[in-house]
Amino acid sequence: MGATLLAVLASGLLVLGLSLATIGLYGMLRRRDVFHQLHAAGLVMGPAVILVLLASVGSGSWEIVTSAALVVLFVLVTSPLSGHAIAQAAHRRRRRLSEDADRRA
Amino acid sequence: MIGFVLRATGLTAVYLLVLTSLAPGDILVGAALGIALAAALRGGRHARPRRAPSLGALRAAGTMGAQTAAEMVRGSWRVVRLCLGAPCAPGLVEIPRGDRTRTEVAVWGVLTGEAPDEVVVDVDEERDVLVVHLVDASDPDAVRERHRRNHERTRRQVGR
Amino acid sequence: MPQVVAIVAAGWATLLLVGGGLLLLRAPDTLHRVLALDVLVAIVVVLLTALSYVRDVSYYVDAALALALLSFAATLVAARYVQRGRPF
């Protein structure tokens, strides 16, 4: 009984994570602006990956569960940081371009 | 002292997670490595005096974790709607830094960035604000108010 | 979890990889390309995790960790490079 429940839970998490990744990718293909794409990319890099990794509870192997836990911790730390790095670069570049345009005008 | 123990335990936990074992020998080796690394990290350039974390700080960390998880779920939903083409108003919002120190700003930034609908863009040192890009920036005051409330609750729980 | 679900997940992730490649090809400038590469790595991490469920081997997840680490460093350096014209 417990094993079945765990298997259903894991399958659900896996499908939910992959759906989020698909939606995020679709959003990235649709939107052209860097900032809009950043949010969609954050969806793929953060919640989608974490949900897929959390599905390891149903894999039945402790080695996979502990490795996945390490990756989850790592992703939790790095995904905001890489998003911020790209956002900062885009923001400063945009500001520089508008300042150049002002100077020329 | 509590901070040192926390760091040593964390490092030991990572070692055991990589090995996937709870054998006494592994725990012993991991604890030795963890304590050695934590001691090495304590010296050198991190030697400036730190405020020791208290029980209140641990509770505040728990509350912050729960808040971040809730924001992640809510933010994911908002981003899903953005991706599927629902009308929304993305934009930049400036949040005043308040009385946060540099370290607190860094922690705040990472925790805020966990939610996919909030991306920390920049820290404007001249005007002392944090620039955040939001999926739904139609009500900037509500966002500022939420961050201020969370920050005050954390301050209260830590008890400073 | 049932073997079928894991296999379907691996196939799904492979299809997503194609979408990520399309995103990379359509990227108009460097920042978009960096972002697309980041997303591609996230999809590869998902694919490796699904593969480890299919084969019941944990090494794939360790490989995913190493890949995520490399991509994180690469993204930071690339974003810095776009911003200042030099990596450091």
- Say if residue B76 is in the same domain as residue B140: yes
The arithmetic mean of pLDDT across residues A68-84, rounded, is: 91
The arithmetic mean of pLDDT across residues C67-87, rounded, is: 86
| Chosen CATH of A2-104 out of 1.10.3470, 1.10.287, 3.30.1490, 3.30.70 | 1.10.287
The arithmetic mean of pLDDT across residues A22-46, rounded, is: 89
Does the pLDDT at position B54 exceed 60?
Answer: yes
Per the DSSP assignment, residues forming a β-bridge with B134 are: B91, B118
**How confident is the prediction for chain B on average, in pLDDT?**
82
Give me the count of residues in chain A.
Answer: 105
pLDDT of residue B101: 83
pLDDT of residue B124: 81
pLDDT of residue B53: 62
Sheet containing B118-124: which strands, arranged edge to edge? Answer: B91-96, B129-134, B118-124
- How many CB pairs lie under 8 A apart between chains A and C? 144
The shortest CB-CB distance from A77 to any of B18, B110, B119 is to B110
pLDDT of residue B51: 58
B116–A42 C-beta distance less than 8 A: yes
CB contacts of B76 in chain A (<8 Å) are: 20, 43, 47
A 29-88 residues with CB < 8 A to B = 30-31, 35-36, 38-40, 42-43, 46-47, 62-63, 66-67, 69-70, 76-77, 79-81, 83-84, 87-88
pLDDT of residue B142: 86
What does the CA dihedral B156, B126, A83, B86 come to, rounded to 10 degrees? 80
Domain that holds residue B96: 55-158
Query: How close C82 gets to chain A, by Cα (Å)?
Result: 7
The arithmetic mean of pLDDT across residues B84-112, rounded, is: 84
Integer Cα distance of B144 and B72 in angstroms: 18
- Say if residue B40 is in the same domain as residue B75: no
pLDDT of residue C38: 92
H/E stretch holding B128 reads none
Does the pLDDT at position A105 exceed 80?
Answer: no
pLDDT of residue B55: 74
pLDDT of residue A92: 87
pLDDT of residue C87: 65
Give me the count of residues in chain B.
Answer: 160
| pLDDT tier, B129 (very low <50, low <70, confident <90, very high otherwise) | confident
The arithmetic mean of pLDDT across residues A77-100, rounded, is: 88
- Say if residue B76 is in the same domain as residue B29: no
Domain count across chain B: 2
Integer Cα distance of B19 and B119 in angstroms: 35
B 100-159 residues with CB < 8 A to A = 109-114, 116-117, 119-122, 131, 133, 135
- Say if residue B61 is in the same domain as residue B24: no
B121–A91 C-beta distance less than 8 A: yes
Chains contacting chain B through 3 or more C-beta pairs under 8 A: A
CB contacts of A86 in chain C (<8 Å) are: 31, 34-35, 38, 75, 79
- Say if residue B101 is in the same domain as residue B23: no
pLDDT of residue B26: 86
B133–A67 C-beta distance less than 8 A: no
C 55-84 residues with CB < 8 A to A = 56, 58, 61-62, 64-65, 68-69, 71-72, 75-76, 79-80, 82-83
A91 touches chain B (CB under 8 A): yes
Integer Cα distance of B114 and A42 in angstroms: 8
pLDDT (tens digit, 9 = 90+) per residue, C8-60? Answer: 999 999 999 999 999 999 888 888 999 999 999 999 999 999 999 998 888 89
**Among the ranges given (A25-29, B89-93, B111-115), the one the predictor scored with the smallest mean pLDDT:** B89-93
The arithmetic mean of pLDDT across residues B140-149, rounded, is: 86
Check: CB of residue C46 under 8 Å from CB of residue A52: yes
pLDDT of residue B52: 57
- Say if residue B36 is in the same domain as residue B82: no
pLDDT of residue B103: 82
> What are the structural domain ranges in chain A?
2-104
Does the pLDDT at position B47 exceed 50?
Answer: no
**How confident is the prediction for chain A on average, in pLDDT?**
88
Count H helices, E strands: chain B? 5, 3
- Say if residue B79 is in the same domain as residue B123: yes
Task: Write the CA distances from C80 to A29, A40, A76, A86, B144, integer angstroms.
Answer: 25, 21, 21, 8, 29
Integer Cα distance of B16 and B150 in angstroms: 34
CB contacts of A80 in chain B (<8 Å) are: 109-114, 119-120
pLDDT of residue B50: 55
CB contacts of C23 in chain A (<8 Å) are: 25, 28-29
pLDDT of residue C14: 93
| Global pTM value | 0.88
